[in-house]
Chains A and B, each alone.
Chain A
Amino acid sequence: MKNSIIEVGNVTKVLGGRAVLSDINFQVPKGSVFGILGPNGSGKTTLLRILLGLIKPDTGEVMVLGQNPLSMTRENKNGIGFVLEDHGLNERLTAYQNIDFFAQVYGLTKEKRRARILDLLDRVDLSAYIKKPVGTFSKGMKQRLSLARALIHEPRLLFLDEPTSNLDPEGTVYIRNLILRLSTEEGITIYINSHDLDEVERICTRIVIMKHGNIMLQGAIADLLRPNNQTTIEIKLEESEAFPKLVNLLSSLSYVTHFKIEKDAAFIELTNDSLRVTLINTLAQNSIPIKEITQIKNSLEDVYLSIVKEE
């Protein structure tokens, strides 16, 4: 795919006699926020390590920014930022010293380093803590500092491993908004490993769900939540006597793929989300006394749990 910033093809990896990754294939489009979901031991971290060039896959091909991560040029490596689960900050050093080391590694000049560090610490609300040892920071502050560290060299691609794990709700919202700003305002492609379904549903445009080293499901979030653009609506009626008439009517409509009556409500599946209005008009024309209409939304949690719980 021409527009892909990451391409993973038929990747397998065996560690300690166990297949940690089996035939993994996916692409990450440029500018997207891409989420990898999966329970512990599903191979997310191993996959991230392969993408960062820390581990060699046994078979298959990986391309990040158009190159193999294991033999990537320095220029391309400088286009990648990352925050791993162990945030990689030395708690004995100050916020400035921690970031300054990485700025040197990425080749920033002394003057540029200082200006960039001050700017980034300001963006993550840590300007007041510039000379404080990181050991005195809260988890949320460390996570923000890690993000600042990852952005020091203005990467085009950002890898985040569990960016909001162990954060309080306020810290979670802060990091989430920061990620969204990076994606929308700066056009950075973001790859997220996460357990947090709510977070992934809110910020990711495409996802992969993994289990036991296999990809179970992948695609755009909107498509996964509404397969083939199907939609389900729940209709409650003013009078229960109208249900037989409703059943007769629904049976005759070609765009109703399935329906069922439960207690005082009818659950109706439509072939296309845009046909909701047509259905409502048809019901009104046939004098069906509608009390309430609700669109049933499939949550990512439903999709995820249905896959992960399957044995």
Chain B
Amino acid sequence: MRFNDIVAVAKRELLVITKYKFSFLFSYLVSFYVGTYLSMAYTNLIPDPQIRIDTYLTFFFLSTGIAFSWTLSTIQVLDYVRQRCMETILATPLSLPSILLGKSLAIFILSYIPSLLCVIIVFCQANWSLGLAALVFPSSVGWILFFISPVLLFGIICVNTLQLMYLNHSMGSLIVDFSIYLLIFRAGAHFSSAISPTILGNYILGFLCVFLLSYIGLMFLRKERIVLAL
């Protein structure tokens, strides 16, 4: 596995996804709207602005990222079904981990940037009524989770991409994807009043799940399996 291979695959995926201009913009706007709206609607119920911001960072920030990655994965699915390029790519010297990481990296970049924009919007909204003099920033634990979220998001995208590769890039993989999401984060939704050990535990569980799944998935994934499923 070479770094240059991962970059080459990521660059190609970025190019391909953004070529679907209408689907890309549409899914982007919908995800952005849904992510921001849900975050604000849910966190508005929390009176304490500190807890509101922390709650966003612990749960909705990641949820928004995942929502983006789903919609972008759908575009990837469409592309692989239509273009039938996978066999040619597999026959090059690219290794399966390089292909997986490259594809995941592209989705990650396109998902993480709008998630950050959502953070800024929620931050502004939470501080709106307080005025500049009383700006509320995330707590230290909130910051920690904010900075480790990208790693977790990347892991989730890796698992998703692996499913796409295993399941012949079919839409069915998104259903599996949704199940994993529920498994890892369902508990987090019930603990939105403050950052608790349970939430931290969910993060650790999430880390273990996605990286273990990615590792096991890669161990058993063979080019033959993908080619014969095409």
- On A, residues with C-beta under 8 Å from B are 15, 49, 52-56, 74, 77-78, 82, 84, 86-93, 97, 101-102, 104-107
Interface-facing stretch out of B47-55, B109-117, B142-150, B222-230 = B222-230
Whole-angstrom distance between the Cβ of A97 and the nearest chain B Cβ: 6
Q: Are B89 and A56 in contact (CB under 8 A)?
A: no
Q: Are B84 and A49 in contact (CB under 8 A)?
A: no
Query: Chain A's interface: helix, strand, loop or mixed, by majority?
Result: loop
Give B77-89 as 1s and 0s: 1 = Cβ < 8 Å from A's Cβ atoms.
0010011110111
Given A56-B224, A97-B15, A105-B5: A86 touches B85 (CB 8 Å cut-off): yes
Q: Are A105 and B228 in contact (CB under 8 A)?
A: no
Q: Are A102 and B92 in contact (CB under 8 A)?
A: yes
Please, how many angstroms separate the alpha-carbon atoms of A102 and B12 in the complex?
10
Q: Are A105 and B16 in contact (CB under 8 A)?
A: no
Given A90-B85, A101-B8, A104-B4: A74 touches B91 (CB 8 Å cut-off): no
Given A52-B91, A53-B91, A54-B91: A92 touches B79 (CB 8 Å cut-off): yes
- Which residues from A are CB-within-8-Å of B197? none
Whole-angstrom distance between the Cβ of A82 and the nearest chain B Cβ: 6
Within the complex, which residue of A84, A90, A97, A106 is in contact with B83, where a contact is CB–CB below 8 Å? A90
- Which of chain B's residues 5-46 have a Cβ closer than 8 Å to chain A? 5, 7-8, 11-12, 15-16, 19-20
Q: Whose C-beta in chain B lies nearest to the C-beta of A107?
A: B4
Q: Whose C-beta in chain B lies nearest to the C-beta of A102?
A: B92
- Which residues from A are CB-within-8-Å of B79? 90, 92
- Which residues from B are CB-within-8-Å of A102? 92
Within the complex, which residue of A53, A78, A86, A92 is in contact with B88, where a contact is CB–CB below 8 Å? A86
- Which residues from B are CB-within-8-Å of A88? 84-85, 87-89
Please name the 7 residue pairs, one residue from A and one from B, whose CB atoms are nearest each other, closest first: A88-B88, A104-B8, A92-B19, A77-B93, A86-B84, A52-B91, A101-B12
- Which residues from A are CB-within-8-Å of B136? none
